[in-house]
Structure 1
Amino acid sequence: MSLSDNADPKVASSTPHAAPAPQQARARRRRALTRVLAALAIVVTVAAAGGLVWQISAVTSPRTGTLTAPEAYPPASPAPVLAGSDADAPLPDLAAVLPGLLADPRLNGNLSASFADALTGEVLFEQESTTPLAPASSMKVVTAVAAFQHLGAEYRIPTTVVEGPAEDSVVLVAGGDPTLTVDGEGYYTPYADGASLKELADLVLEARGGTAPATVYLDTSVFTDTVAASGVLPGELATSTGPMAPIMVDGGRMNKTEKYAEHYPDPAMVAAQQFADLLGAATVEVGTAAEGAAELAVVHSAPMSALVDSFILTSDNLLSDAVALQTALVVEGEMTWAAMSAAHTSTLESLGVDMAGLVFHDGSGLSPDDRMTAQAFTQMLLGAAGSQASSVFESLPVAGYSGTLEDRFGTAEEGEGVVRGKTGTLTQPTGVTSLTGTLTTADGRQLIFSLISNGHTTGTDAVETAMDEVTTAVSLCDC
């Protein structure tokens, strides 16, 4: 389970954190500046070498709710949440500072590190960068890149209803969407507001002239694999994720307000029963849609960009696995864990990643048998910067402000708004922590980095703090 998953700014967690008193003022400032984040325009410029530079400019919002005198509007420019970049800034000499920083006794396990220049792709520092290690939730960045590369930011997952084998029946055809709600309000709506079963039922009734069918058949034939990826422990299905299915309401959670809520053992059948109740159907049975059956209605998930934002920011294991399987369906023609691995492999190969030792069992990083290297992460992000997958950079949490980094960098406050990254932690086995993303140096140079630690014995909090301090020190170094 990813401990960093507890830092969910919009959805209630089963283990909320109370901010220490010294941090309360900083927390209030973060909340105020988080509102400013929505008023920043982030322009991604891809350089000829395949790197990227973020240029940040402030924009104003007219939604004040009150009349404002012309001379007082627009208001003063807000303080930037994200550090700006400078393509002419000097490259830092990381070899002069990182060996000492990474010798921190808190990082006492196997440590894979890679830092590269975002603009030129030049590798600036490596330490055991080709050693395959369990990446934990940093694996979600691979899932996001593959989804953007093959599906695109506007792709939506369909859920369809077609005519059944008899006049008084319909078939609910699952398409892989776990974010459905019953009535439009659910677990995923704060980030990824998609379709509801009520909307689908209303469309079906309209297509049938207001006549409810007697039977709903549930077709889950699109998903043909086990409910959990290889290596995922059975106990994880109760909280950290849930049994995989190609249709779910609120990700199969019994309580849609809790991230780590108990999950239904058969979420697809629960969704079908809820749909039947809304439709007025008496029975639900398992079945398969006939080839060429007439479509009665179809609804769609939120766009892929919103789904990626949701699972990257909140580190949602189930949603990231569902997106990885959807990518597999489009790329490989089947929704299986093996097809997902093949899709990940082909994606990284196309981006110029060294594949030696890499293993993909799932799209979430929950499997302790997954393997990535720090070099592979930086190579992938460098390749993504010059491709359709460049949208992934906009989804990464901002240190001190959003997602699973909202409550990080307390001992490295200078890194707030400067470091962006995907966190990763596994508690079974212990000693797995990672941080992968980008940072901006004090001179304005944009860097891409990855840190993966396996087998450390100093505790998750200590290693996370050390990684926060390392990346902050790199951003501040005058080297």
Structure 2
Amino acid sequence: MSLSDNADPKVASSTPHAAAAPQQGRVRRRRALMWVIAALAIVVTVAAAGGLVWQISAVTSPRTGTITAPEAYPPAAPAPVLAGSDAEAPLPDLASVLPGLLADSRLNGSLSASFADALTGEVLFQQEDTTPLAPASSMKVVTAVAAFQHLGAEYRIPTTVVEGPTEDSVVLVGGGDPTLTVDGEGYYTPYAAGASLTELAELVLEARGGTAPSTVYLDTSVFTDTVNASGVTMNELSNSTGPMAPIMLDGGRVNTTEKYANHHPDPAMVAAREFADILGASTVEAGTAAEGAAELAVVHSAPLSALVDSFILTSDNLLSDAVALQTALAVEGEMTWAAMSTVHASTLEGLGVDTAGLVFNDGSGLSPNDRMTAKAFTQMLLGAAGSQASSVFESLPVAGYSGTLDDRFGTAEDGEGVVRAKTGTLTQPTGVISLTGTLTTAAGRQLIFSLISNGHTTGPEPVEAAMDEITTAVSQCGC
């Protein structure tokens, strides 16, 4: 509606002065509007000239039409999300504070603790740090380090289609990517958008001159082991993780909107049938690509850095296991749990880690038979800091802000933005909690730490809160 639409025709027709009133009203409103625009222009100009960064939730109130000014000028600087570090900052005296902190009654099981200076590698505190314990999902940090070290942050997992044994067939060759989607939208898209079967089918049709094959053969020969790692029950394959396969749609989830959804018992065949439908093939059969078969098309996952971000931030068991097996394939030439264990052990040894007593059944930490020590974690991260695996630090959740630490540190708010760490919790068996990562002291010294608790009887939440408070206290101790 224009301004003139507000004029009352009865008033406008009464007298010449009355007829002029609407016009005067329009002029006054235009002038008022011009003043508002000019005022806003001055505000923007001053802000730009002063290099200020403003965040104003509403310039104009939708209810009153009045301008809302900031409470203070200039506005207060926002608190940093990540604490900065200072190489000149003094080393904290952790021996004066940690014994009392670790005596917390909530930590009534076996506790392995290690704190070290990130710059020099000096161990600042240790308690039972060589005792092998179940690490739960902190094991995913080992998987990330090994993958970065051997594959690099830009590595992508391939899914390939080659010519089949007849002119009317093709072979879909799984390469180990669990993040494939049907059409580019799926469970992993927010963190690790990768390839789609639709894209792959289009490339195949283009290579075949637009002619669809009648048969798709599914080649899963790259994966030669059991669908579950040692210690992981078949029941957990349907919810906490899924049956391992070298090709999957959305990690084999039946419901792609849920993290702990039920999984297809044969996710590779589900993916192959979906691909055949998109391609226009009528038959799907198991098969193996002939040696030297001509490649028709290939698509790739998101870069490894995105895959690691995804499984570290969300603690995705299946994706971390898939990446661990991909690393085993690249290094040992086979996609097996045993090869993965060999790679993890050799990677840690290469970074100067004492591997005595360590056990790697999987890459996720879901197996209760896995074993790590707090010392091994800190040694690994110290070694990673000076290697190709240093990218792992970028993936760690930030306390109070991201990933599995997004809703943590409620009882330790001073640790928000200061502690970056991977969480770990096992519900079966109960009594397994861990926290592994970095923190920055109030003085600016960056530390690497690991806390592992096994056998506590207080439940996961109290132990998690204790670890949050302990790491926060170290960051704020000024000792």
TM-score (norm: length of structure 1) = 0.85
Structure 2 counterpart of 1:187: 187
Structure 2 counterpart of 1:72: 47
Structure 2 counterpart of 1:331: 331
Question: Structure 1: which amino acid aligns with 2:244?
Answer: M
Structure 2 counterpart of 1:215: 215
CA distance in 1, matches of 2:228, 2:52: 52
Structure 2 counterpart of 1:279: 279
Structure 1 counterpart of 2:231: 231
How far off is 1:79 after superposition? 3.5
CA distance in 2, matches of 1:233, 1:353: 30
The count of aligned residue pairs is 414
How far off is 1:478 after superposition? 1.8
CA deviations on 1:298-349 (whole Å, 9 max, x unpaired) are 0000000000000000000000000000000001000000000001011000
Alignment map for 1:111-260 (pairs within 5 Å):
111-260=111-260
Which structure's relative contact order is higher, taking Cα pairs within 8 Å and 6+ residues apart?
A: 1
User: Quick check: 1:97 aligned with 2:87?
Assistant: no
Alignment map for 1:259-338 (pairs within 5 Å):
259-338=259-338
Secondary structure, counterpart of 1:191 in structure 2? helix
CA distance in 1, matches of 2:205, 2:52: 50
Structure 2 counterpart of 1:46: none
CA distance in 2, matches of 1:471, 1:332: 38
How far off is 1:235 after superposition? 1.1
CA deviations on 1:365-395 (whole Å, 9 max, x unpaired) are 0000000000000000000000000000000
Q: Between the two proteins, what is the percent identity of the paired residues?
A: 85
CA distance in 2, matches of 1:75, 1:186: 40
CA distance in 1, matches of 2:298, 2:221: 17
CA deviations on 1:79-117 (whole Å, 9 max, x unpaired) are 320001000000000000000000000000000000000
Over aligned residue pairs, what C-alpha RMSD do you find?
Answer: 1.2
Question: Structure 1: which amino acid aligns with 2:191?
Answer: Y
CA distance in 1, matches of 2:178, 2:43: 44
CA distance in 2, matches of 1:283, 1:268: 15
Question: Structure 2: which amino acid aligns with 1:278?
Answer: I
TM-score (norm: length of structure 2) = 0.85
Structure 1 counterpart of 2:11: none
CA distance in 2, matches of 1:330, 1:68: 58
Secondary structure, counterpart of 2:309 in structure 1? helix
Question: Structure 1: which amino acid aligns with 2:307?
Answer: L
Structure 2 counterpart of 1:396: 396
Structure 1 counterpart of 2:429: 429
Which structure 2 residue ranges, 5 or more long, are not aligned?
A: 1-40, 54-76
How far off is 1:282 after superposition? 0.2
Structure 2 counterpart of 1:476: 476
How far off is 1:72 after superposition? 2.4
Structure 1 counterpart of 2:14: none
CA distance in 1, matches of 2:251, 2:43: 44
CA distance in 2, matches of 1:354, 1:346: 11
Question: Structure 2: which amino acid aligns with 1:190?
Answer: P
CA distance in 1, matches of 2:129, 2:357: 12
Structure 2 counterpart of 1:14: none
CA distance in 2, matches of 1:165, 1:430: 52
Question: Structure 1: which amino acid aligns with 2:471?
Answer: T
Structure 2 counterpart of 1:16: none
CA deviations on 1:34-71 (whole Å, 9 max, x unpaired) are xxxxxxxxxxxxxxxxxxxxxxxxxxxxxxxx999454
Question: Structure 2: which amino acid aligns with 1:166?
Answer: T
Secondary structure, counterpart of 1:382 in structure 2? helix
How far off is 1:234 after superposition? 1.4
Question: Structure 2: which amino acid aligns with 1:237?
Answer: L
- CA gap of 1:157–1:99, structure 2 versus 1, over 3 A, is same
CA distance in 1, matches of 2:42, 2:459: 53
CA distance in 1, matches of 2:393, 2:358: 22
CA deviations on 1:195-244 (whole Å, 9 max, x unpaired) are 00000000000000000000000000000000000000111111100000
- CA gap of 1:398–1:270, structure 2 versus 1, over 3 A, is same
Secondary structure, counterpart of 2:89 in structure 1? coil
Secondary structure, counterpart of 1:190 in structure 2? helix
Alignment map for 1:454-473 (pairs within 5 Å):
454-473=454-473
Structure 1 counterpart of 2:409: 409
CA distance in 2, matches of 1:355, 1:310: 27
CA distance in 2, matches of 1:68, 1:318: 52
Question: Structure 1: which amino acid aligns with 2:184?
Answer: G
CA distance in 2, matches of 1:430, 1:195: 38
Moved over 4 A (4+): none
CA distance in 2, matches of 1:360, 1:68: 60
CA deviations on 1:21-45 (whole Å, 9 max, x unpaired) are xxxxxxxxxxxxxxxxxxxxxxxxx
